[in-house]
């Protein structure tokens, strides 16, 4: 469902560094998503073949493997190599929305913002304007980060949260970053889960940072 604007939360003043534990072992976003076809439904379409640009308007729904994106207006460009670049805009009723499953887990990453920029080549998503990034285990919300700009790399699972005056509102007049982190369950912390590298959704000033 679209994310109502009245439910949007805070933003930040400064860029921050956070570590959000992803509690079920090492994992990435669905590996097949990058090369999956992009399917789009909308009320209207305008296509410019010369610039390889398609503009969709009205209740736009995009699927690409496990990825789901929604917005009121979406502009998609494709380069000669087949990489896809999308800009998703919300409207007065709802923000742009993004959702992607994590490989091999019943976990999903969700985010929303006034505008979303998707880059299939770099496997990055930027949420701009009253942005939120959340992790769900099944239907349970586990981790949440709120800011004015959030950039998420689904290949490395690194994200950045930046601030700005646009995040100041009645709920958060200072415009500071807000995050909710769920403790690791005792059985998983004690080692009942497979002894793999801890899966963390990490924040860094460099979104293209490589995972060691």
Rounded to the nearest integer, the mean pLDDT of the chain is 76
Average pLDDT of 17-42? Answer: 60
More confident residue, 61 or 199: 61
Contacts by 195-200, CB closer than 8 A, 24 or more apart: 196/25, 196/26, 197/26, 198/21, 198/22, 198/26, 199/21, 199/22, 199/23, 199/24, 199/25, 199/26, 199/27, 199/157, 200/19, 200/20, 200/21, 200/22, 200/157
DSSP 5: G
Q: Nearest-CA neighbor of 156 among 207, 103, 109?
A: 207
Tokens of 69: 């994106």
Q: Which of 91, 99, 90 is nearest to 154 (CA)?
A: 99
Strand partners, 199: 22
For 165-184, how does the pLDDT look when each residue is reduced to its tens digit (9 = 90+)? 655 556 666 666 676 667 65
**Structure tokens that stand for 158 in this block:** 């690194």
Task: Judge contact between 144 and 127, C-beta under 8 A.
Answer: no
Q: Are 29 and 109 in contact (CB under 8 A)?
A: yes
Contact 165, 129 (CB under 8 A): no
Cα–Cα dist 182/165, whole Å? 28
Contact 91, 112 (CB under 8 A): no
Neighbours of 111 (CB within 10 A): 25
Name the most confidently modeled range: 93-97, 103-107, 202-206: 93-97
pLDDT at 12: 31
**pLDDT per position as a tens digit, 54-93:** 999 999 999 999 999 999 999 999 998 888 999 999 999 9
Asked if pLDDT for residue 192 goes beyond 50, the answer is no
pTM metric for this prediction = 0.71
Q: In this structure, which topology does domain 3-203 adopt according to CATH?
A: lipopolysaccharide transport protein A fold (2.60.450)
């Amino acid at each position: 469902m679209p994310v109502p604007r009245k439910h949007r939360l805070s933003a930040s003043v400064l860029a921050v560094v956070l570590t959000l534990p992803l509690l079920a072992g090492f994992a990435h976003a669905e590996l097949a998503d990058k090369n999956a076809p992009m399917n789009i439904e909308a009320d209207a379409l305008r296509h410019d073949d010369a610039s390889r640009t398609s503009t969709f308007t009205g209740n736009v729904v995009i699927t690409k493997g496990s990825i789901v994106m929604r917005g009121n207006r979406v502009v998609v460009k494709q380069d000669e190599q087949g990489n896809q670049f999308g800009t998703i805009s919300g409207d007065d009723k709802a923000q742009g929305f993004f959702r992607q499953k994590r490989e091999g887990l019943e976990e999903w990453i969700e985010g929303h913002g006034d505008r979303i920029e998707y880059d299939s080549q770099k496997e990055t998503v930027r949420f701009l304007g009253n942005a939120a990034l959340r992790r769900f285990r099944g239907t349970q919300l586990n981790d949440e980060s709120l800011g004015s700009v959030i950039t998420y790399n689904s290949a490395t699972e690194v994200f950045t949260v930046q601030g700005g005056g646009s995040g100041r509102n009645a709920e958060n007049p200072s415009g500071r970053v807000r995050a909710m982190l769920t403790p690791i369950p005792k059985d998983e912390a004690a080692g009942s889960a497979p002894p793999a590298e801890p899966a963390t959704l990490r924040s860094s000033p460099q979104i293209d940072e490589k995972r060691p």
